[in-house]
Structure 1
Amino acid sequence: MSADPVSVAGIDGPAALRDRALGALLGAFIGDALALGPHWYYDLDELRARYGPWITGYTAPMPDHYHAGMKAGESSQTGVLLRLTMESLAECGGYDEADFCRRMDEDFFPRLDGTPMQGPGGYTSQSIREAWRKRIRQGLPWGRVAGNADTTEAAERTLAIAVRYALDPAALADAVTRNTVLTQTDGTVVAMTVAFGAVLGMLVEGHKFDAAISAKLMARVKSGALPFHTVTAGNLQAPRPGAAEAPTAGRFPSPDALLTQSSIARAAHDPDVRIEPAWKVALVYGMPCAVYHQFPAAYYLAARFADDFESAVLHALNGGGQNLARTMLTGALVGAQVGLAGIPTRFVKGLVDHAALLALAGRIGPGRVL
């Protein structure tokens, strides 16, 4: 495992930085495709009856279930949107909101009809359906089409933005925020989405997912790089008497979305706190779709299996429920830690269109914003 970086290129050099970026992006696509078949089984007995006691690879959806008709190893609509975001980043050299919105209008929305069980990838999420209705049926401009869905939908596409801006946390937070609010308006959801991007960016840099990560994130808040408001001093200590607040308060009213990661990392390595087997993290944090279920479970698996991509994604997958988001987010976090070189070949080779996805990922590696 890498030590903490001492330069923007990472202590182990540009090649390792690139490997971590590729690992994060391919890890996300792998996680998405792994869960395509056994997605959204909240009855774990039904999941086991249909797919066996332990799913180990890509599977096709059942004909009466979500994503019916798709093949093992294909991307869901989540993966389609991640790819669209990456294509925009690659063509523009960074986040260009006008280009992203144009691609949504011209390349993506025409493939939808506003119903859940339709569109590329076999299912369209709530926030995307709402944006489609407001944009296409009502003719509202971008900036007025977002809804209050509490899911990880934006985090799943903006993880590409986090990888692109991993070396510039201020630009990362700004771009992730602006892209997220195109489809989701809830302040807590936006804060937690930006926090996830900030964590992923740190892992791409080469930082460890351990008990120290929240202190590092808070240092970036204090420096003004991350837009979270805080009045504490040092390691969440009371402010000095008479000390003034920062001259500019952050967009988000508290830094809480940056603090849970260290607690979860401690729990993942505390011998007195055991979730066995680890897939039951889905039962501990919850199986549904909301950010407050999904992010903690992904953080736990990323901390516990920091150097074991296969164990991380398979435990995320076999927990049932909204395992597509859980496995995709976990795949990105652990992929960033192990790098592309640490992802078993069978997961890469079994991913449909993996060569094109790898080539695309190679075009949006992290770089400083000048």
Structure 2
Amino acid sequence: MDETLRDRAAGALMGAWIGDGLGLGPHWYYDLDELRRDYGPWIDGYTDPMPGRYHDGMKAGQLSQSGFILELTARSLVENGGYDQADFCRRMDEELFPLLNGEPANGPGGYTSQSIREAWRRRVEQGRPWGETAGHADTTEAIERTLAIAVRYALDPGSLAEAVARNAALTQSDDLVLSLTVAYGAVLAQLVRGETLDARLSDKLMHLVKKGVLPFHAVTRDGLKPPRPGDPDPPRAGRFASPDALLSPSYMARAAADPDIRIEPAWKVSLVYGMPCAIYHMLPAAYYLAARFCDDFESAVLHAVNGGGQNQVRAILTGALVGAQVGLSGIPERFIDGLEQGRALRDLALTLAQQAARPPKE
């Protein structure tokens, strides 16, 4: 077994849970002056939510509903040895949906996202089957849980893309959101395999597109060169019309490495790429921070949190990407010690990572 891959896989999962916990207290402050008044000039650890705000009543180091669902997904993967959609749906029916009532300020973590509320409404109130539960939210809830699937199938990108797309489609109906979700999973898997989030990573992902492994359509030749006269329209490898979701991570990495492009302090990435919740604001900021602080987990997640807005998701996505690069061994112990059930989550991450480190059967 590749122990370094196991370390990186576990680091990705723990990085996501830590990012979730760090964002719980100062979540969704769009007024940065108010954020600083409530939490001081620099948030450097887990904090209690303020009364009357999101996650009111929760305590520092606890997980939001995103962390809860990520744990549910990881347990399903571990106990089934891989992705089993029927088992995942059963767990949602039995472990999450009975705790919801359709209201935003309700459920595990004290808040339920739009896409999960819509899935609950279709499944519970309207009695629809799974497969008819997706909504139009343009947010990242699917990434927040399917990152565990990406970790599990890091050595098998074709199975990764299929499983992530199937799971994401349970709650997200927009093809663009689905393509961005699958692309994030593909990026995360490359980092678990030992690649770096840099200017060359997108070329490696495009190579998988050309081989028909990743389900994106592309007509360009290597190096994004144009097709030549007489070149046939390539058969579609899958449902997604454009590979651009695979190209953007390397552009963010180039920006992070370019000495003529400086975002200082780095938490202001939230102002550059946007503070709102939509997936097209969250992913560029996470890719930028993960490339800039590729070997510094603490700086990456704390800058993600201190940027305000949808800082919890920014920290989850950044934490997973950097956790995959530094490994579990590169995550400061204080972040695990301060997380409620941190040791149990670490054990779960290591178990899933052990499965991920086994090469796929030929």
Q: TM-score, normalised by structure 1?
A: 0.96
Q: 1:130-173 deviations in whole A, cap 9, x for unaligned? A: 00000000000000010010001000000000000000000000
CA RMSD of aligned residues (A): 0.8
2:202 to 214, 234, 255: 214
Partner of 1:104: 92
Moved over 6 A (4+): none
Q: Report deviation, 1:249.
A: 4.1
Partner of 1:279: 267
Partner of 1:161: 149
Opposite residue 369 of structure 1, the aligned amino acid is: P
Local SS of the residue matching 1:35: helix
Q: Report deviation, 1:246.
A: 2.5
- Matching of residue 305 in structure 1 with residue 272 in structure 2: no
Report the Cα distance in structure 2 between the residues aligned to 1:144 and 1:368, rounded to whole angstroms. Answer: 34
1:353 to 341, 344, 356: 341
Partner of 1:244: 232
Local SS of the residue matching 1:235: helix
Higher deviation after alignment, 246-255 or 345-354: 246-255
Identity %: 68
Report the Cα distance in structure 1 between the residues aligned to 2:351 and 2:328, rounded to whole angstroms. Answer: 15
Q: Report deviation, 1:369.
A: 3.4
Report the Cα distance in structure 2 between the residues aligned to 1:175 and 1:105, rounded to whole angstroms. Answer: 19
Q: 1:47-78 deviations in whole A, cap 9, x for unaligned? A: 00000000000001011110011110000000
- Matching of residue 337 in structure 1 with residue 328 in structure 2: no
Q: Report deviation, 1:358.
A: 1.1
Structure 2: where are the runs of 5+ without partners?
none
Opposite residue 112 of structure 1, the aligned amino acid is: L
- Matching of residue 58 in structure 1 with residue 49 in structure 2: no
Asked if the contact 1:165–1:368 (Cα under 8 Å) also holds between the matched residues in 2, the reply is no
- Matching of residue 119 in structure 1 with residue 110 in structure 2: no
Partner of 1:231: 219
- Matching of residue 369 in structure 1 with residue 360 in structure 2: yes
Q: Report deviation, 1:230.
A: 0.4
- Matching of residue 176 in structure 1 with residue 167 in structure 2: no
Structure 1: where are the runs of 5+ without partners?
1-12
Partner of 1:194: 182
Aligned residues: 358
Higher deviation after alignment, 234-243 or 20-29: 234-243
Report the Cα distance in structure 1 between the residues aligned to 2:321 and 2:315, rounded to whole angstroms. Answer: 10
Report the Cα distance in structure 2 between the residues aligned to 1:337 and 1:244, rounded to whole angstroms. Answer: 39
Q: 1:297-328 deviations in whole A, cap 9, x for unaligned? A: 00000000000000000000000000000001
Asked if the contact 1:20–1:336 (Cα under 8 Å) also holds between the matched residues in 2, the reply is yes
Q: 1:82-109 deviations in whole A, cap 9, x for unaligned? A: 0000010011000000000000011110
Q: TM-score, normalised by structure 2?
A: 0.98
Q: Report deviation, 1:359.
A: 1.3
Partner of 1:265: 253
2:131 to 140, 143, 164: 143
Higher deviation after alignment, 237-246 or 76-85: 237-246
Report the Cα distance in structure 2 between the residues aligned to 1:189 and 1:248, rounded to whole angstroms. Answer: 19
Asked if the contact 1:171–1:369 (Cα under 8 Å) also holds between the matched residues in 2, the reply is no
Asked if the contact 1:150–1:291 (Cα under 8 Å) also holds between the matched residues in 2, the reply is yes
- Matching of residue 76 in structure 1 with residue 64 in structure 2: yes
Asked if the contact 1:155–1:196 (Cα under 8 Å) also holds between the matched residues in 2, the reply is yes
Local SS of the residue matching 1:191: helix
Partner of 2:309: 321
Report the Cα distance in structure 2 between the residues aligned to 1:24 and 1:246, rounded to whole angstroms. Answer: 34
Q: Report deviation, 1:250.
A: 2.5
Partner of 2:243: 255
- Matching of residue 94 in structure 1 with residue 82 in structure 2: yes
**More helix, by proportion:** 2
